[in-house]
Structure 1
């Protein structure tokens, strides 16, 4: 017999969420708000209470499960003291409740067939969890999964849970779930202030964000909708393109850029194909990660197969450029920048239509939130905010050689 105090493990702020049995549970929240960990705890407990239930966990990109939802659910089983009753497999990525054979399946929208064709060995598929649901820009992708949680479930309630950071108020999630009243929908907004497990160091990070990045604090701190007023780039959309086909076009050039980061900011690598004839940019890959040492950045570039590519890096760190060149990234060059380089770079990019591959989720977030700054009166000024710009800066650097050639021509 395992006795665990859910109040001590889960904490406060989520009682209604925990017990709700309507069709949709939709939680927008800031970072550190317990929304994902509480969801993981809830599903491990529910699966053990309902011996016929199976569930599917969805992320936009399948590879992102391993370091997020899969680990969170494994952590939840350990915290609840039931790890010995669960088997967490990597290949295939699954979690099975050993006494009954119930299974938690992990799928990505980058492989639609693996989602729609799923069948369970025992019981019923009655629950789905969409983690980082904001990354799903196409509502139809959600609808396909929603329709699959249908039919006979042996009397079990059917439910879909969505958890996300609310980056933009233009997203379909707001219109569908938050702007209308529906008795079959529970919507919640949570933030770090309801997380009693954070220590003073954690809370200090949010206070620093509040002072330095008020726009980001509103979204990531308080869980409020991001306002897209003053968007710098409105010339972009998500598109599942074939980069091999794009590369065959006449006049297409590859462009790779690197922006440095460490503790507060991520290191950002942008990879794109630029069609100078049709004025189109196709962003096909990205890397976005904090706390990377230079040798780790070099290895990441090698692992992606880009070591021999011509890469333009932020010139503010010549030592880092020298280190990466010594480690085999020999075609890495510093950006030239110059006066008004940010504005001129933005103006150049604005001449193109930008297509973002669905796998580049961080690029989509930056493009949606990169806006013109405001003055003390709240009026927009001709200067971008210094935030949501790490991949965008790396894109600017990567386009310098192309901009020069087009200017000369």
Structure 2
């Protein structure tokens, strides 16, 4: 006769034990009890008579030892000490991080998406027959790695396969948010909107169970000092006050983007609205190959308003291929294209392809000057310019020791932003004047 563990489950997590959805999200703020509930659930499943093959997975295999694997052993020890389970019924392999429940043959194995901290991809072998997956810190997992795992999990042993994901709130542009959630502006306790933060609600999806919790849902398992500390993070009068940590890690809100974001007031417009604008277009070009992409966009400007539309954002394009791509997407072949003047050879090769290319104006402090110019404009970007919007969220200033922006941009996620800077500054000064394949000062 099988032993029967007894669980005291937080009411918030009870749907985990009864829902048959494929995807189950346990997420939110710190100390919410998500890992505890998930490993309790796996202990519940492995000790049932029904067929069960579980998989613990994290970005790096070695990190499982101190997290999911240890958490599961802690849950087991509680049941053994209570007399509900027999420790001898389990075979635990510490090196391979596997668990066998001998009365039924049900097992749990452990894998990593990456083979080591070098982030080299690992092949997820020996996962045939897996019925339940538990992913910790799912926000660290690449979408492509998740998709490969999701596509590989299949068995005819049970009706419903489950993938349980534990994660802290990622940023607005993270693939988890885009795939499964709608975002609404977060509102404070006094009813005012919290700038730069969102509350996430799951999209209508019969295959998703989303359980969002915070420390406030787990108070009975926390001591008074921990509870006080979490409240102090959100108290402007406390020496522990940390607004970003409080909103993201305590309340489980979703951030607008990286702290120190350079462009905060860009607005969306539709492609149809952009196309209907009666203003002459001009173009910006930032050269790239690999890993940096080439970025090419069309712009329109009237007085102090700028409109932009992404046209090319691709890796590994030769200048010959780039010229052909530009000819395919450009609707106004005689309009000026302002390109990075540091690439004079590339500019000349595009000119030789009968493209109307000009070297962008660059001088002392040109990056800072161009950023301030763009920040001073009312700027619209078409909704379908997905890479433009990603850069808008992720292009940021370096942070100082005080965790505040320094005013020095990080040279990353800025390819379309750079071409826009080249285009706006040079078009304003020269308006398509004298062609230059070199640097203008």
Structure 2 residue runs without a partner (length 5+): 183-202, 236-240, 264-290, 292-367, 372-392, 406-441
For 2:51, the equivalent position in structure 1 comes to 52
The answer as to 2:221 corresponding to 1:197 is yes
Q: Do the aligned residues in 2 keep the contact of 1:44 with 1:76 (CA within 8 Å)?
A: yes
For 2:111, the equivalent position in structure 1 comes to 107
Q: 1:142 to 1:200 in 2, by over 3 A?
A: same
User: TM (normalized to structure 1)?
Assistant: 0.54
For 1:98, the equivalent position in structure 2 comes to 102
Q: Output aligned runs, 1:303-314, within 5 Å.
A: none
The answer as to 2:143 corresponding to 1:163 is no
Q: Take 2:226 and 2:53, find their aligned partners in 1: how far apart are those partners?
A: 35
Deviation, 1:175, is 1.1
Q: Output aligned runs, 1:73-222, within 5 Å.
A: 73-81=72-80, 82=85, 83-111=87-115, 115-119=123-127, 124-136=129-141, 138-150=142-154, 152-179=155-182, 180-195=203-218, 196-211=220-235, 212-222=241-251
Q: Take 1:388 and 1:24, find their aligned partners in 2: how far apart are those partners?
A: 37
For 2:320, the equivalent position in structure 1 comes to none
Q: Take 1:106 and 1:156, find their aligned partners in 2: how far apart are those partners?
A: 23
Q: Output aligned runs, 1:247-396, within 5 Å.
A: 386-387=402-403
Could you list the per-position Cα deviations for residues 251-275 of structure 1 after superposition, in whole angstroms to 9, with x for gaps in the alignment? xxxxxxxxxxxxxxxxxxxxxxxxx
Q: Output aligned runs, 1:63-82, within 5 Å.
A: 63-81=62-80, 82=85
SS at match of 2:11: coil
Q: Take 1:384 and 1:49, find their aligned partners in 2: how far apart are those partners?
A: 53
SS at match of 1:14: helix
Q: 1:78 to 1:14 in 2, by over 3 A?
A: same
Q: Take 1:4 and 1:52, find their aligned partners in 2: how far apart are those partners?
A: 17
Question: What number of residue pairs does the alignment pair up?
Answer: 247
Which protein has the bigger helix share? 1
Q: Do the aligned residues in 1 keep the contact of 2:5 with 2:44 (CA within 8 Å)?
A: no
Deviation, 1:222, is 1.2
SS at match of 1:129: strand
Q: Do the aligned residues in 2 keep the contact of 1:62 with 1:109 (CA within 8 Å)?
A: yes
Deviation, 1:113, is 7.6
Q: Do the aligned residues in 2 keep the contact of 1:53 with 1:156 (CA within 8 Å)?
A: no
Deviation, 1:65, is 0.5
SS at match of 2:156: coil
The answer as to 2:254 corresponding to 1:225 is yes
Q: Take 1:3 and 1:16, find their aligned partners in 2: how far apart are those partners?
A: 20
SS at match of 1:187: strand
Q: Take 1:383 and 1:102, find their aligned partners in 2: how far apart are those partners?
A: 49
Q: Take 1:370 and 1:98, find their aligned partners in 2: how far apart are those partners?
A: 53
Q: Take 1:90 and 1:116, find their aligned partners in 2: how far apart are those partners?
A: 19
Structure 1 residue runs without a partner (length 5+): 240-346, 351-367, 373-381, 390-409
Q: 1:78 to 1:369 in 2, by over 3 A?
A: farther
SS at match of 1:43: helix
SS at match of 1:116: coil
Q: 1:14 to 1:85 in 2, by over 3 A?
A: same
